[in-house]
């Protein structure tokens, strides 16, 4: 179960568009429906517009009509597992403030985090307007 998510993230990593940093990241999000969506980082010549692998997963899930997230895996080539950046924590918290995140190195070292610990006070109190058609 956990391994399929890791494998999907590892495969996505190889599709990363990271010509500026050379740092390839893959992520995979398990939706409550059981579907897995993957994502890779997508860099830009205007560096700040880079999309992390984690946020690419969120966009894909929403476009598939799914907002219920169960688990996220991240794979990168580092000595210790990476943790999601602040922007990704904010975006993930919109949908799953207690998401379980497992981050892996290429050699198989892993660390598990709860988004709740990484981003403890998400601003979820803003009223949402009824959905338009
Ligand atoms: N990156 C991710 O995609 N996810 C992370 O958790 C860490 C950073 C990307 C952004 C950029 O393309 C590259 O890694 C270097 O920061």
- In the reported structure, the alpha carbon of residue 91 is separated from the centroid of ligand 1 by a whole-number distance in angstroms of 15
Q: Which atom in ligand 1 lies closest to the alpha carbon of residue 40? A: 3
Whole-angstrom Cα distance, residue 133 to residue 8? 34
Every domain of the chain and the residues it spans: 2-118
Q: List all residues 6 or more positions away from 109 whose beta carbon is below 8 Å from its beta carbon.
A: 80, 81
Helices (H) and strands (E) in the chain, counts: 4, 5
Superfamily of domain 2-118: Cytidine Deaminase, domain 2 (3.40.140.10)
64-90: average pLDDT:
98
Q: Which atom in ligand 1 lies closest to the alpha carbon of residue 21? A: 15
pLDDT at 72: 98
pLDDT at 54: 98
pLDDT at 1: 65
55-79: average pLDDT:
98
Nearest residue (by CA) to ligand 1, atom 13, is: 23
89-103: average pLDDT:
98
User: How would you classify residue 22: left for phi > 0, otherwise alpha for psi between -120 and 50, otherwise beta?
Assistant: left
- In the predicted model, is pLDDT for residue 55 greater than 90? yes
Helix (H) or strand (E) holding 30: strand 25-31
Confidence category of residue 11, pLDDT binned at 50, 70, 90: very high
């Amino acid at each position: 179960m956990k391994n399929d998510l890791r494998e999907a993230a590892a495969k996505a990593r190889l599709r990363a568009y990271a010509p500026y940093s050379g740092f390839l990241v893959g992520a995979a999000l398990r939706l409550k429906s059981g579907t897995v969506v993957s994502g890779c980082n997508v860099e830009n010549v205007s560096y700040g517009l880079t999309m992390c692998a984690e946020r690419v997963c969120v966009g894909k899930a929403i476009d598939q009509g799914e907002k219920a997230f169960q688990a996220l895996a991240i794979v990168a080539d580092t000595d210790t597992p990476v943790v999601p950046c602040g922007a990704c924590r904010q975006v993930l918290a919109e949908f799953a403030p207690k998401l379980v995140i497992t981050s892996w190195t290429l050699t198989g070292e892993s660390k598990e985090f709860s988004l709740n610990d990484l981003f403890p006070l998400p601003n979820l109190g803003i009223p949402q307007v009824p959905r338009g058609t």
